[in-house]
Structure 1
């Protein structure tokens, strides 16, 4: 049985809800006012025989007084509170936060699932479970639901918005939503439930998760460095996806509030400024119990609902596990309608067989599955000692009857190639090179993290993990693409790798950065913080943002560009086909061909001298030269070792020589004590280097670089 609230605070609230005083209760119970005051302050509790008299006085049953897990039904009823218009005449014609996203089921899936991931309870090690339920109501079911949400009280406000809808985008959407409901006689609900999550904890008004979601805009209380959200905008997708601007909420709390945890219910309505019966209203409205502590008992607060109420509101949760249910009333999918319109001329047999009334929710079901599998496949994947962070389910009903069987998103079905790559990394079965089908190659990619506050230099180098494997039939149809993600394992960036070698086999690549590369990876937390600041509200890329500029520097984004360049270069090297030797080919093919042998070229005597063929150089954030050089090597039995020498170009006199902070061989060569030693038989080689800033006599931006390859010791 759920632990109830302390008797004193509970009784005090029941008296306020009923509009009664302590003196009035004492008189009805034929007790002194001091006795009731002692109960309220917690100095004593009533005897069991008095409990029955208190229940009778409050108009409730004895069990409610004993358990105190809900309010009595006497007193102030659940109602709608509409925020009054501003005294200065100001008007809000919609919630600006909602305009950051489209009314798209796939956008909703991305934002809500990300929020659930961020609120996962980590102590038990279990994944957060998220369920999306589409439910179409018609006929008596629709009428019963409208009665439960007090539709007759809301209708005058919708009518006022519709009358002035011509010049307001929000007004036009709402007007279309109301007309659709009446003309088609149906209403689509979309409920998002999460389990093993924190729930909307905290007070109705003070700082806390509840107030951040229900009362405020642009507030994010996600303090974890690996959290996906940071702008407080994601929750706006819930209201943006409702054609009626209406969302109902039922939360089971991980931390008790007012002594209880289950069925904390409230609704929020987002409408533009309107005038109803001569009164002006600012915009939002709340569905709840009038707060006896507010002036005139007008403001609606959350209430602890009974099981029948949440059932009537389609907010029943499957168990008492912490988490929150959001019910989007009048769900619409603009993106899905656009896709359907573009395919309308196809006249597919599947569409013809679909029942007309359920076609929309079937399409929405399909789009939810696609989006969740595309964006969260990594969070749903486990292997080795790593457990999945997320489980996701999607289902659809019509008037209580299941029309699409519940489907658990399986990442190995939606994204088989990328899932195989991630599992191989978790299980430690990756290889250095792809030589056989089904293998996964891994490579470390450096991310040089800057100091915060604009300080020049590098805080440290975080090693991201690049995974590459052959491509199978992934649901999104994309090939040769690189998915980048960090700690919460939601795909942040998707991009196609360009400039691939001719004849490259189709592949998929994954870049794990921050805690996704491993919580023990060097500077993992710092990488999470840096990349989180580099994400826009859509969380679909890493680049220049205002927060990145303010907390680091205007050029900090170049570190991310360097990471991307390094990752793409590594992908090209891993997927490049090895050159076929002259001995390769079938015996029958060799016999069928007549090949005229050319005179063998004379091999030079003595060591051959490699020569620079190409050079790419940029100036790093710390003022260092960063170079990538390619070398051609003549044919010969012996290749002379060479020393790369970096110099500054000057008008007269000797060129100042620069030191190397880093010099590494990339392909066809190795570096030993600053000397390039080439692989026997190699015809080309590549090396990479970074100059030592302390050896620069002048600022790098005022100079030009000269790079030479010298034989011997480089004198």
Structure 2
């Protein structure tokens, strides 16, 4: 049953009209009709409003499935897993080397917010090809009484406890965490679990003992097995799940997007990360719970047992590919969240803070790439559930992004709600590693909107790329006196477009991220893969972002001594002209130098719809430390797609929404050697082209 069908069912069941619903939500009856028909989908914010008005769960309306599908357990299946599944504990090496904890788990600072960021990034990366969106569900669960006893019996905790107690005997940090976890379990007779699930994702595909997603998560350390456009690349993010377990224990159940050895559903395995410990003999630390493999003498995946999935609290809806992780003994290493309710709130906030671009719908009726649900339960009873609405946490930033998606940006900040869009050049150095390319210019997108002075987190700029996760957010300093308060975001790499230069920038920026993926800096991967110039490329990029923001938000020096001008400045009653609301944009610009020192540029320009053909002059400027740059003349212009060159003017075909052209600079007009220049391509609308 689709969202539209569930909405239609509830309206009929409650005897309510779509006109009344439209009035309650603040949309037209025609829009509600489209929701019911399934031709459009309501935004997350509207789903929440609908749920409140109909007194139904927004999560049920959005996703349809119950939080924990109730299915009768076949006792034969239960007996089978109790017989077949065992723990395998890796023996210590003969050289007596000891690992007293996984170093990967100590790379990241923070607790639950870091967990949400890292797992959310992995979920976005794992979205299945062809899926419009991936759904992330976080469920904080507290067990006590019979429910706790049943769960502990499922994972054979009495056996595991001997190893936990042995591992807790040292003075190492990990041992202290284990010891406290056991003490809390004994004293409170309750256990906190955190289930992290994705739907519409790839699942843990891959062979049992060879390269693939399964091995990268279950057996290997520092293995990400991701493509070049993914958010993560070090294979460290997954370690945060084990770091947030007091017992270093995570259970896994996966439904695969493609079959592995003829099987797709119910791939179960558990991994426990303990330090070296001594019991009946010396153990290395890691352990796995699954089916015994007599040939390899270890445990492997246990497939297709619905009783095990239900008893381990990892039951999944039939057919929905993706993976469920259950963190046993979940806690916040930072100590900031100590209750189920606090963990719930922390997850909601962290998901909104880090993924508001990914959770913003790109257009009316369209799905955002990521939808997130946070739920908390106590012994199976739902305490609270929230579909994360990014606009509830960052309304101005989400509104700014939607203006960009709707192509309603303007040239200057004149009225409330205005969003200015600028192109920021990122000059990519020559790539020497796989996928080599010469020098390229990428045009990132900068969006700036005026903020309410009382808003939180003003005068900051956020950076994101194709992963749609916020990489970093930093204050812009210095600002001149009288500057407007603002919000700003930079969309770089595949976040700005899908042209070759955008893909090249995506690869460059991914290589520039440290393990925390919270900055673009010089990294070993960057220095290995690119020729000299990567440091300057990044520093120039950041400098250009700051300079452009200061130009946009700075107020002009004007004599406001007379009343009318002062009132005009305060009220800003002059509406933006049509030209500012319907502007041409340079979508991509790629360039390289020829042997004669000329820049050869290929650019794509997007055009707003209009009846008359667009006519414009491309411009190129050599950047300077201050000011808008020095203009350079073209030697030649050539139309490549949907346009023709008429002297120094590009004439678009009637009805064209984008054009592509090639331009070559006149080297005699270069103010400096082109090899050392930072260039910016823009367009100037020809006078005869305005309507």
Aligned position for 2:111: 104
Between the aligned partners of 2:531 and 2:283, the Cα distance in structure 1 is 44
Cα gap change, 1:573/1:458 in structure 2, threshold over 3 Å: closer, same or farther? farther
Cα deviation, 1:54-85, whole Å, max 9, x if unaligned, reads: xxxxxxxxxx9xxxxx9993996211000011
- Of residues 350, 362, 369 in structure 2, which corresponds to 1:371? 350
Equivalence for 1:574 = 552
Equivalent residues of 1:270, 1:284 under 8 A apart: yes
Q: Could you tell me how far apart the structure 2 residues matched to 1:215 and 1:255 are?
A: 20
Helix, strand or coil for the counterpart of 2:84?
Answer: coil
> 1:198 Cα deviation (Å)?
0.2
Give the equivalent residue in structure 2 for 1:116: 123
Aligned residues: 518
User: Residue 464 of structure 1 corresponds to which residue in structure 2?
Assistant: 444
Partner of residue 129, structure 1:
135
Q: What is aligned with 2:622?
A: 662
Structure 2 segments unaligned to the other structure (5+ residues):
1-73, 569-596, 598-619, 635-668, 678-691
Q: Distance in 1 between matches of 2:134 and 2:213?
A: 17
Does the 8 Å contact 1:452/1:552 carry over to 2? Answer: yes
Aligned to 2:247: 244
Evaluate the alpha carbon distance shift between residue 564 and residue 519 of structure 1 in structure 2; reply closer, same or farther with a 3 A threshold: same
Alpha-carbon contact 1:416-1:472 (below 8 Å) kept:
no
Q: Which position in structure 2 is the counterpart of 1:235?
A: 238
Q: Is the 8 A contact 1:661 1:692 kept in 2?
A: no
Equivalent residue, structure 1, for 2:59: none
Partner of 1:232: helix, strand, or coil? Answer: coil
User: CA 1:504 to 1:458, structure 2 compared with 1: closer, same or farther past 3 Å?
Assistant: farther
Aligned counterpart for 1:292 among listed residues 271, 286, 294:
294
Q: Encode CA deviations 1:636-668: one digit per residue, 9 max, x unaligned.
A: xxxxxxxxxxxxxxxxxxxxxxxx993789869
Is 1:524 the counterpart of 2:531? The answer is no
C-alpha separation between the residues in 1 aligned to 2:287 and 2:250?
11
Is the contact between residue 661 and residue 691 of structure 1 (CA under 8 Å) also seen in structure 2? no
Distance (Å, rounded) in 1 between the aligned partners of 2:81 and 2:242: 32
Determine the structure 2 residue equivalent to 1:398.
Answer: 378
* Distance (Å, rounded) in 2 between the aligned partners of 1:488 and 1:291: 38
The 1-side partners of 2:675 and 2:85 are apart by: 75
CA separation of 1:244 and 1:253: change in aligned 2, threshold 3 A: same
| Rounded Cα–Cα distance in structure 1 between residues aligned with 2:216 and 2:567 | 72
Matching residue within 362, 368, 371 for 1:388? 368
Gaps of 5+ in 1: 1-63, 65-69, 341-358, 591-623, 625-659, 675-688, 701-715
Shift in Å, 1:563: 0.6
Query: What does the per-residue CA deviation read over 1:464-486, in whole Å, with 9 as the maximum and x for residues that have no partner?
Result: 110000225999x3111000100
Pick one of 189, 192, 200 that aligns with 1:185. 189
* Distance in structure 1 (CA, Å) of the matches to 2:140 and 2:159: 26
Trace 1:615-654 onto structure 2 (pairs within 5 A). Answer: none
Q: Tell me the residue number matched to 2:513.
A: 535
Asked whether the 8 Å contact 1:249–1:265 carries over to 2, the reply is yes
CA distance in 1, matches of 2:521, 2:468: 18
Query: Counterpart of 1:705?
Result: none
How many angstroms apart in 1 are the aligned matches of 2:566 and 2:538? 52
Find the residue that maps to 1:197 and give its secondary structure. Answer: coil
Deviating beyond 4 angstroms after TM superposition, the runs of 4 or more aligned structure 1 residues are 454-458, 472-475, 586-590, 663-674
**Whole-angstrom CA distance in 1 between matches of 2:254 and 2:557:** 61
CA displacement 1:517-539 (0-9 Å, x = unmatched): 1113x500100010000000000
Asked if 1 retains the 8 angstrom alpha-carbon contact of 2:361 and 2:367, the reply is yes
1:416/1:473 contact within 8 Å kept: no
Structure 1 distance, partners of 2:328, 2:135, is: 22
User: 1:505: how far off?
Assistant: 2.5
Separation (CA, whole Å) in 2 of partners of 1:398 and 1:409: 21
TM-score (norm 1): 0.68
Aligned pair in 2 of structure 1 residues 170, 434: CA closer, same or farther (>3 Å)? same
Residue 272 of structure 2 corresponds to 269
Q: What is the alpha-carbon distance in structure 1 between the residues aligned to residue 183 and residue 452 of structure 2?
A: 45
Partner residue of 1:434 out of 388, 409, 413: 413
Deviation at 1:326, TM superposition (A): 0.4
SS of the residue corresponding to residue 510 of structure 2 reads: helix
1:325-336 maps to which residues of 2 (within 5 A)?
Answer: 325-335=324-334
2:508 and 2:526 in contact (8 A); partners too? yes
Deviations 1:6-62 (A, max 9, x none): xxxxxxxxxxxxxxxxxxxxxxxxxxxxxxxxxxxxxxxxxxxxxxxxxxxxxxxxx
Q: Secondary structure at the match of 1:133?
A: strand
1:215-263 CA-to-partner distances (Å, cap 9, x unmatched) read 111111102x321110011110010010110000000000112322111
Match of 1:681 in 2: none
Alpha-carbon separation, structure 2, partners of 1:554 and 1:174: 47
Shift of 1:579: 3.2
Q: Map Cα deviations across residues 424-459 of structure 1 (whole Å, 9 max, x no partner).
A: 111110001000001100011100010023999961
SS of the residue corresponding to residue 432 of structure 2 reads helix
SS of 1:251's partner is strand
Cα separation, 1, equivalents of 2:308 and 2:259: 21
C-alpha distance in structure 1 between counterparts of 2:153 and 2:301, whole Å: 19
TM-score, L = length of structure 2: 0.70
Structure 1 residues 431 and 411 mapped into 2: Cα distance closer, same or farther (>3 Å)?
A: same
Q: Does 1:259 align with 2:262?
A: yes
1:195 corresponds in structure 2 to 199
1:200/1:253 contact within 8 Å kept: yes
C-alpha distance in 2, partners of 1:457/1:290? 49
The verdict on how the C-alpha distance between 1:387 and 1:565 changes in structure 2, with shifts beyond 3 A counting, is farther
Paired residues of 2:512 and 2:523 also in contact (CA < 8 A): yes
The 8 Å contact of residues 142 and 190 in structure 2, kept in 1 or not, is answered as yes
CA distance in 1, matches of 2:621, 2:163: 69
Contact 1:369 1:409 in 2 (8 A): yes
Question: Which residue of structure 2 lines up, in the alignment, with residue 493 of structure 1?
Answer: 472
Pick the aligned partner of 1:283 from 282, 285, 291: 285
2:168 is matched with: 162
How far apart are the structure 1 equivalents of 2:78 and 2:378? 33
Partners of 1:120 and 1:103 in 2: CA distance: 26
* Equivalent in the alignment of 1:563: 541
Report the CA distance shift for 1:587/1:236 in structure 2 as closer, same or farther (over 3 A). closer
User: Aligned to 2:563, what secondary structure does the other structure show?
Assistant: coil
Task: Give the aligned partner of residue 413 of structure 1.
Answer: 392
Inter-partner Cα distance in structure 1 for 2:675 and 2:379: 76
d(CA) in 2 for partners of 1:501 and 1:534?
31
Q: C-alpha separation between the residues in 2 aligned to 1:478 and 1:446?
A: 26
Alignment of 1:131-150 (within 5 A): 131-150=137-156
Choose which of 55, 80, 85 in structure 1 pairs with 2:87.
80
1:206 counterpart (186, 203, 210): 210
What do residues 267-314 of structure 1 show as CA deviations (whole Å, max 9, x unaligned)? 00000111112x11111000001013224xxx1111114222211111
**In 2 relative to 1, CA 78–502 (structure 1 residues): closer, same or farther, beyond 3 Å?**
same
Choose 480-489 or 97-106, whichever is displaced more: 97-106
- Name 2:427's counterpart in structure 1: 448
Looking at CA atoms only, which structure, 1 or 2, has the larger radius of gyration?
Answer: 1
C-alpha spacing 1:75/1:511, structure 2 compared with 1 (3 Å): closer
SS in 1 for 2:426: strand
Question: 1:92 and 2:99 equivalent?
Answer: yes
Instruction: Determine if contact 2:373/2:388 at 8 Å carries over to the other structure.
Output: yes
| Cα-Cα RMSD | 3.2
